[in-house]
Structure 1
């Protein structure tokens, strides 16, 4: 007889900054306040992409990852500014310093969000709700920014809860409410369920967590593969994942979308040199060496390919990585090609990131 798995109860807080990049810009530049602000690539040219939009801009339907040209069409009077990543990273560092007053068990997900395990907190406050409120107030008082918080017994519910009352919200889902909360949750609100999977679920008549709960674990696995294990447990409130303060770095990379198509090998090599320099700087920063280089190419017709090459010895030699990237590019048959995007990613590292350092996501917006 299979032993029934039971939930592990922890005190988990998920903190998510509100429109982080845009809020920092509005804080630093009063002329942007209460106006639709878009941080990302500029709409001129062709390759601009929205990184973050202020809440004033979101009212017009502007969202992250949307082409900047489309954002401009939705809101012709929107203000577009380029990202200032160095500033955002410095603010993020100060936010994490606030977190560390309460716990050392912090798992950063990006510059603007993190999980905190406060099952045992440094100040012996005891209440995760009180800790979340104090963190939010400290961020507001010290950094003039707002954050939203989700508080619950596991990571899955805490993350979803942080999005319920944005901006500047706090939502608590207690132990006795977790399972019913998930039962009522629409499938497209499940963290980790993308549009394709959500569409498949709806075609099967699965619209909420309660619907998923009607299926056996075997049925879920047959329809959704390994994810079926997760769905079966999560709709029963079971998410025993720990907050991981030092997550293993799997890969790191950078990419650039160009304002015009690259058509010559000289242009492509120059672009690769710029991108590889960023990757190299990050390898040095996190004291890593890689065994695999992956090249990403997107053509003018939006066709996209990737090519990878692995080697036996770890390296962080910039020239070596650049030469590999150039070889991979030439192996794609670039004669008469028109390229709109190039990217370089390195992986298969010799060790994990040093203690206290978690690489942030990085993309180029130099358009």
Structure 2
């Protein structure tokens, strides 16, 4: 269950950097001829053309989605190039993507505490770097502003028409802004420079969200893709969450989110504002109730952990058609094979994850 952590009284600058169709970008760097053409990466299981695990933006224009199989994707986009994930010992080998992600992490970690959340996403705590910039070289004193920073999206700011760049420039360089907004502006300059450096050194593009906590930064990073960044000032938080579907919030995509929707008859995160903290605690317990109360207000005290390796890797296997597991015996046989695999190649994992079904006498 989620853990309620109050925010620090000191303003923080947190960025969430999300690579754009990362697996596709890695393959396009290997094969430059794939750049600019419809491309997707498929899993090692070749049934019906393989399951799509990453779809490039060029292919998305034709309606290709990750839920498709390769054969279906070809019907939607006959010109699509399907690249298979490398295979090692009969399994998908993601090392090429992990290593490429490590290249990006090594660049991002130069400016602040870095938490690698997965192969293709990273949290950065840029508070110290932003404070330093604000004291030594504040935005309002800058004579030249990088174009990438001026392309930032600032939630709550009028950014339509020909005045977009001028409005962003004015917001970033306001001398009368409060300290929190000035820190975010400094964060925007730092993130823009990092994204440029990532592109220069790795050829990969990435998008980013910049906010005062991890939760808001992650929400923002996916709002304007690809190769763009979005800033969430405190004044824009209420509007951002007002229409955000419950299921779109991290940790509310599963059973807890369904329970909240059904029990409280709410549809958006903003709808939770109508309930007191005590009411939410009565439904979901003290800790989860307080967490929901905080979420509705954009409050999150989760720290960026100094970690350069992903916290977890997802692993799954599908059994379509004749490969389907139809009997208890077949399931037990599969678990036995998995047990032997981990015993041979990952002894610590085997010791930690032993399952009662993995009984050689079964």
Same fold (TM over 0.5): yes
CA contact (8 A) 2:40 2:83 kept: yes
SS of structure 1 residue aligned to 2:191? helix
Query: CA 1:272–1:30 in structure 2 vs 1: closer, same or farther (change >3 Å)?
Result: farther
Unaligned segments of structure 1, at least 5 residues: 295-307, 310-323, 332-367
Q: Following TM superposition, by how much is the alpha carbon of 1:131 offset from its aligned partner in structure 2, in angstroms?
A: 1.3
Contact map agreement 2:24 2:40 (CA 8 A) in 1: yes
1:196, 1:267 → 2: CA distance?
A: 26
**Larger RCO (CA under 8 A, 6+ residues apart):** 2
- Residue 279 of structure 2 corresponds to which residue in structure 1? 219
**Take 1:124 and 1:94, find their aligned partners in 2: how far apart are those partners?**
26
TM-score (norm 2): 0.67
- Give the number of equivalent residue pairs: 294
Query: How large is the Cα RMSD of the aligned pairs?
Result: 3.9
**How high is the TM-score relative to the length of structure 1?**
0.66
**1:125 alignment partner, SS class:** helix
Deviations 1:103-125 (CA, angstroms, capped at 9, x unpaired): 2x211111110101111139943
SS of the aligned residue for 2:133 comes to: coil
Which has the higher mean CA deviation after the structures are superposed, 216-225 or 264-273? 264-273
Moved more, 246-255 or 198-207: 246-255
Matched, 1:12 2:14: yes
Residue 208 of structure 2 corresponds to residue 149 of structure 1: yes
Following superposition of structure 1 onto structure 2, how do residues 230-269 of structure 1 map, counting pairs within 5 Å? 230-246=291-307, 255-257=316-318, 260-261=322-323
- Equivalent residues in 2 for 1:1-367, closer than 5 Å: 8=9, 9-41=11-43, 44-45=46-47, 48-64=50-66, 66-68=68-70, 70-84=72-86, 85-103=94-112, 105-121=113-129, 124-126=132-134, 127-194=186-253, 201-202=260-261, 204-223=264-283, 227-246=288-307, 255-257=316-318, 260-261=322-323, 277=341, 281=345, 283=346, 288=348, 291-293=351-353, 308-309=355-356, 325=358, 327=360, 331=362
Partner deviation per Cα, 1:180-224 (whole Å, 9 max, x = no partner) = 433343323322221665555555442323211111234334555
Structure 2 unaligned regions, length at least 5? 87-93, 135-185
| Alpha-carbon offset, residue 179 of structure 1 | 3.7
Distance in 2, Cα, partners of 1:291 & 1:101: 37
Determine if contact 1:162/1:171 at 8 Å carries over to the other structure.
Answer: yes
